[in-house]
Amino acid sequence: MIHGFIKVAAATPSVKVADTSFNTSRILDLFEMASEKGVHLLVLPELCVTSCTAGDLFHQQALLDSAREAVNSIANGTPKNMVAVYGAPLEVSGKVYNCSFVSCGGELLGIVPKSNLSPAEKRWFAEAPEEETAVQIGDFIVPMGSTLLFKNNQVSSFVLGCSSGLSDLDGVLTECGATVLACPETCDDYAGKLKKVAGSLAHESSRLFTSYVFSGAGDGESTTDLVYSGFNIITELGEVLACTSRNEDSLLISEIDTQKICSERRRSGRVYSEPVNDFIEFNLENGQTELTRHITRTPYLPEKASEKAEACAEVLDLQARGLRRRLEHTRTKTAILGISGGLDSTLALLATVKAFEDMGMNKRNIFGISMPCFGTTHRTRSNAEALVQSLGCSFMEIDITDAVRQHFKDIEQSETDYNTTFENSQARERTQILMDLANKYNGLVVGTGDISELALGWATYNGDHMSMYGVNAGVPKTVAREVTAYYAQNLASESTRETLKSILDTPISPELIPGKQETENIVGPYELHDFFLYHLVRYSCSPSKIYRMAVHAFSGRFNEQTIALWLKTFIRRFFNQQFKRSCMPDGPKVCEISLSPRGAWSMPSDSISHIWLEELEKYLNFS
């Protein structure tokens, strides 16, 4: 359960109507199966001890007595390192309640009677009492109440509540701290029902900043009027982690990230109440949960092709909208961009073209400036010119070699010493030209740097770091690639499409020194850095947790040593380069995160990274 990952399971035992002995044996079989798979929380259906379709047999004393004995046996048989939730009828003071029982390690922890009963259920069951009471089951004397909360002593973010059919009570439980809601249900089936229920659970988990483990009745229930298909669903913060039906006597397993839920609650600014009652505490071994849930390598965009295309179109539109507003406000008719033939300047140009098209402005007033120097290749230079011209913009080439050489002479920099000064002098010369051209043509310098470069500080201070509007400031490098590919496939003319394909096939490089210079060989793969950035900023994950998720997500792509190496690099650069972000130009937020110092990301420029690096190193040594 390190990092707050709780392995949960929903299961539907095959039952026989009113046969508590048979049903108990099936439940205990599932307990054993779940324990072998390292499950921390197992949720079984409502009334699974007796079956939910027993009808008027729920009034029979023989069935009620047998159910009470069965619950005692099931509680005693609950594995040591697992908490289980299961349903049975319970008679208390002459009233019969539809209850969820919570047990752990051979002990019964508490009883949660169902509230929000349907008219049909009221034929057999009483509404949950308003006051908590103590109830004896075998040797156990435990509390019974609809708002009981169960807290794990080893992982404080794991607080369990029992849902009562997506009622208002769920809001009360989450307001009081529940991060996981067990949802034992009956849930009859009909065409399209599973999708509807899963959607409702996902929506509620998003609205309430929580998770649901849902288990519905299945095989063996009476089909006199209804069919039960054994719905099992696990959701977290609006996402369906796992979902199945017709899954009797097997487990639906995933991992719920309780730390992530708590992080979202902190970010939401909502004020959470103290629990109505004291937490009921339970113990589980705090080992490392094996991850089986899907963790996407590309957290900024959907993985499904059609949804990804829609998201790419939206990113481009948001970029263009932001730039359009800035052009309108400044009454500027001209845009100046440095065009290198690389990915970032390409996307900035595409967004600028869309802004001009949306405003009905002449695209000839977009000036794409190529400024070749020592490391510029023929391929990128020709791609830059071809792209600008195919889009109907104005192309201009200004060779900066002589100007940079003069600068080297002025500051006594050797042309054969490929140091930082050698590289940055070129970047600053290019920015000076762009700024002066903007003055000359009464235009706006559109920045091309993306959020991935801002995170790593991979930009020359007061060079390509600076512009009058950073249209890519909210776009990660991996998203820039996807948006450019989307444009090539869906919006580009044939000539533009071929140029864009060539640009997409070109390795990312600053081209500041002669010969081959690939950025990702220097600072690391952007797909890793974008993953690190998302989980650090969006969910405030610790470095060790980011590492662990990356190892799982990029299995088969990068090995553990590679991920650890580049994560350390990312942490060091992210902290050391904040000073560049503190004075970054305006630019639109178009994805979930932003590093703008004007409210999106507030971080002192002299923050120290050693706590984060030590936390990662300690975990790597431990694991």
Q: What tens digit of pLDDT does each residue of 370-419 get?
A: 999 999 999 999 999 999 999 999 999 999 999 999 999 999 999 999 99
Domains and CATH numbers, the chain: 2-282 (3.60.110.10), 305-622 (3.40.50.620)
One-letter amino acid for residue 108 of the chain:
L
Q: What is the mean pLDDT of the chain?
A: 94
* Active-site residue list: 46, 114, 162
Rounded to whole angstroms, the Cα distance separating 562 from 565 reads: 5
Are the C-beta atoms of residues 90 and 135 closer than 8 Å to each other? yes
Closest to 323 (Cα-Cα) out of 241, 490, 445, 162: 445
- pLDDT tens, position by position, 231-276: 999 999 999 999 998 777 789 999 999 999 999 999 888 767 777 6
Rounded to whole angstroms, the Cα distance separating 137 from 126 reads: 19
Residue 420 sits at φ, ψ, to 5 deg, of: -60, -40
Q: Which two tokens stand for residue 468?
A: 């009058």
Closest to 336 (Cα-Cα) out of 394, 281, 294: 394
Largest CA distance in the chain: 101
Q: What is the 3-state secondary structure (H, E, C) of 522-560?
A: HCCCHHHHHHHHHHHHHHCCCHHHHHHHHHHHCCCCCCH
Q: How many CB atoms are closer than 10 A to CB 20?
A: 25
Q: Which two tokens stand for residue 2?
A: 């390190």
Model confidence band, residue 157 (pLDDT cutoffs 50, 70, 90): very high
Pairing relationship of beta strands 140-144 and 150-152 according to DSSP bridges = unpaired
Residue 443 sits at φ, ψ, to 5 deg, of: -120, -175
pLDDT of residue 32: 96
- pLDDT tens, position by position, 278-327: 899 999 988 889 999 999 999 999 999 999 999 999 999 999 999 999 99
End-to-end CA distance of the chain: 14
Rounded to whole angstroms, the Cα distance separating 198 from 320 reads: 36
pTM of the model: 0.92
pLDDT of residue 484: 98
